[in-house]
Amino acid sequence: MVFRKLMAAFGAGVEVDTVLTNTGVRPGEVLRGVVHFRGGKAAYKVEGIHIDLTAVVEVESGDSEYKSTYSFLRQQVSGPFQLEAGAQHQHPFEVTIPWETPISAIAGQPLRGMRLGVQTELALAGALDKGDLDPLFVSPLPAQEHLIAALDRMGFRFKKADLERGTLYGSTMPFFQEIEYYAGGKWRRYFNELEMTFIAGPGRMDVILEADKRGGFLTSGHDAYNRFTVRYDDSSGAAEQALERGLEKMARHRGWF
């Protein structure tokens, strides 16, 4: 356990360490952990503890891009309590992961391009201070796993994933995830690259496909879109068929498909 000193600017000398019980969760599941405190040279009243779930998001501004950290869930996990000088205190917490939380790990491996984290905010002496960012690994829902595996079987090759600022129709998040692929298999005839976005809820999810479409004879390439819904009680085969139908609709162009 590594304690990190907070509130140094206020002379409090309070140290804190947040330990996550389950660093790997899925959307809709409960993230559990314990916040450990060690008091400084004097007694202080801790006014509250908040847990922030954060994500690094790409923001476009004119012709340039930059990365910014967004908080997508802030939850109070403790009210006021007295922290005596030199005393140790711990407070367990539970936070439900929002359904629309982006995927940051697949098969236990971090997803390239994704950075999610958990940050502990301590209210002390009338001021706020945040600890370091602890990484958060969110695995796909079973329905999302089926579609990711289906793209792999179809010959698509994973390129990267990122978060873009903006709110899509049907979403409540200030950003959305794009999982990007190079087209493969028979789909190389129609697409250069494919992006897949999930908007998940408690019983179903919308899937948004965007493809960089190849040009044909006397035509230039352009983007194609498709959106469909998958219910979690659908069979994996039904979800894969919906995916293939979406790809076929995007591929149709002047009788190509």
Tell me the pLDDT tens digit for each residue of 41-70: 788 788 888 999 999 998 887 777 888 899
Residue 8 has a pLDDT of 45
Residue 256 pLDDT > 90, yes or no? no
Task: Report the candidate in 190, 180, 187 with the shortest Cα–Cα distance to residue 219.
Answer: 190
Question: pLDDT by residue (tens digit) across 68-96?
Answer: 899 999 999 988 888 888 888 888 999 99
pLDDT of residue 130: 64
Question: What pLDDT is recorded for position 222?
Answer: 62
Given a cut of 80, whether residue 5 has pLDDT beyond it is no
pLDDT of res. 129: 58
pLDDT for 158? 95
Mean pLDDT, range 216-238, rounded to an integer: 78
Q: State residue 7's pLDDT score.
A: 47
More confident residue, 222 or 242: 242
More confident residue, 168 or 253: 168
Checking if the pLDDT of 99 tops 60, the result is yes
pLDDT of 214 above 70:
no
pLDDT recorded at residue 132: 64
Reported pTM: 0.85
Q: In percent, how much of the chain has pLDDT > 70?
A: 87
Question: Is the CATH number of domain 4-138 2.60.40.640?
Answer: yes
Residue 121: per-residue pLDDT: 85
Asked if pLDDT for residue 140 goes beyond 90, the answer is yes
Residue 3: pLDDT band with limits 50, 70, 90: very low
Higher pLDDT pick, 216 / 228: 228
* pLDDT in the model for residue 125: 65
pLDDT confidence of 126, banded at 50, 70, 90? low
Domain map (residue ranges) of the chain? 4-138, 142-251
Residue 218 has pLDDT above 90, yes or no: no
Q: Which long-range contacts (CB under 8 A, 24 or more apart) does 66-69 make?
A: 68/165
**pLDDT grade, residue 39 (50/70/90)?**
confident
**What is the structure's pLDDT at 48?**
86
